[in-house]
């Protein structure tokens, strides 16, 4: 059916109120119009449908059999419209759109997310990732997890996780040495770089004793590939607290040396500057900070244990 084939919806709504209240006067009061306006709307509807809807009496009205059927059908339709509109509003409010750094989402957030959704079944997270998430997304978003140093324009941002970086390898990778490895034990062929050779140069220079060429070795553009390569024994890569915790917890990787360097960059939560703080958004943000605090405490214990 085309919309042009439908009866006048204002007239149909007025008739539904008349049918519900059994009174032109009460219907007019409910709709905020005059009794005469309601009477005219019902007359318009009767003319369109070409059948009588109400039997007008001196002090009351009755519905014809046809009028009863129209009132029932229209009432159900208006009720369904109300339900659908409420569902649309609820769905929009409870769908959180997150943009995030690919490494952060895959290696830190995603393994935790199912627990949040089980505890909050009315909330769903829609995720878009980027390999270079160091600026505000061009698209609409509720949250963005950005890697950098802050000072982005057009948003509010708060630090979520700071990061230390450190060499990691398979637990038995240096077993042949019969002693704890030193940076000077690493050869150029063992180097696995995560997007850049910067960190291996930084660790070589910080150690004071290593002489390898930091530009040699394998270079991958995705942290997960570097960690997997190291876990299967291909070499030694640079891990960090955010991306490497799962591998350390499950003993797929080990931190074989005492070298740690702070990263100048951090993970930030960014939100649109004019966004409203709904209960769903506040709940998710609070959960992120709670998980970040648990993460910090885990590494405090990890580093404390390794220093003993």
What pTM did the predictor assign? 0.68
Q: How far is CA 107 from CA 69, 100, 228, 233, in A?
A: 59, 12, 12, 20
**16 three-class SS:** helix
Tokens for 278, please give them: 């709904």
Percent share of the chain, pLDDT over 90 = 50
Listing DSSP states for 252-308 in one string gives SSB--SS--EE-S-EEEEEEETT----HHHHHHHHHHHHHHHHHHHHHHHHHHHHT-
pLDDT in tens, 278-300: 888 999 999 999 999 999 999 99
What is the spatial distance between Cα 308 and Cα 306, in angstroms, rounded to a whole number?
6
Is residue 126 classed exposed, middle or buried when 0-12, 13-18 and 19+ CB atoms within 10 A define those classes? Answer: exposed
d(CA 219, CA 205): 19
Question: Strand pairing partners for 63?
Answer: 54
Lowest mean pLDDT among 76-90, 168-182, 239-253: 76-90
The residue whose two tokens read 């709504």 is: 13
Tokens of 50: 């070409």
- Rounded CA-CA distance 68/72 in Å is 6
Say yes or no to pLDDT of 103 above 70.
yes
Average pLDDT over residues 303-308: 83
Residue pLDDT, tens place only, 259-282? 899 999 999 999 988 777 788 899
pLDDT of residue 11: 87
Which range has the worst mean pLDDT, 41-45, 184-188, 284-288, 295-299? Answer: 41-45
How high is the pLDDT of residue 90? 55
pLDDT tens per residue across span 136-165: 877 888 999 998 888 788 788 899 999 999
């Amino acid at each position: 059916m085309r919309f042009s084939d439908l009866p006048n919806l204002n007239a149909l709504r007025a008739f539904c109120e008349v049918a519900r209240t059994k009174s032109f006067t009460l219907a007019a009061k409910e709709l905020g119009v005059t009794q005469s306006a309601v009477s005219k709307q019902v007359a318009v509807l009767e003319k369109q449908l070409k059948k009588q809807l109400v039997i007008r009496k001196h002090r009351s009205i009755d519905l014809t059999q046809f009028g009863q059927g129209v009132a029932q059908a229209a009432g159900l339709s208006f009720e369904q419209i109300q339900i659908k509109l409420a569902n649309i509003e609820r769905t929009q409010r409870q769908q959180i759109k997150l943009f995030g750094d690919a490494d952060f989402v895959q290696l830190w957030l995603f393994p935790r997310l199912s627990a949040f959704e089980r505890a909050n079944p009315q909330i769903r997270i829609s995720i878009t990732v980027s390999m270079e998430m160091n600026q505000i997304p061009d698209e609409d978003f509720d949250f963005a997890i950005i890697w950098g140093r802050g000072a982005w324009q057009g948003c509010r941002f708060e630090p979520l996780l700071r990061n230390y970086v450190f060499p990691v390898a398979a637990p038995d990778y240096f077993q042949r040495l019969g002693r704890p490895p030193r940076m000077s034990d690493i050869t150029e062929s063992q180097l696995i770089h995560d997007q850049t050779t910067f960190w291996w140069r930084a660790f070589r220079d910080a150690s004071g004793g290593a002489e390898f060429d930091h530009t040699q070795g394998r270079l991958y553009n995705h942290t997960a590939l570097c960690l997997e390569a190291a876990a299967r024994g291909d070499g030694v890569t640079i891990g960090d607290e955010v991306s490497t915790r799962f591998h350390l917890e499950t003993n797929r990787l080990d931190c074989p040396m005492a070298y740690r360097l702070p990263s100048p960059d951090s993970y930030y939560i960014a939100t649109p500057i004019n966004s409203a703080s709904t209960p769903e958004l506040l709940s998710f943000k609070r959960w992120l900070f709670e998980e970040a605090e648990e993460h910090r405490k885990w590494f405090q214990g990890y580093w404390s244990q390794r220093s003993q």
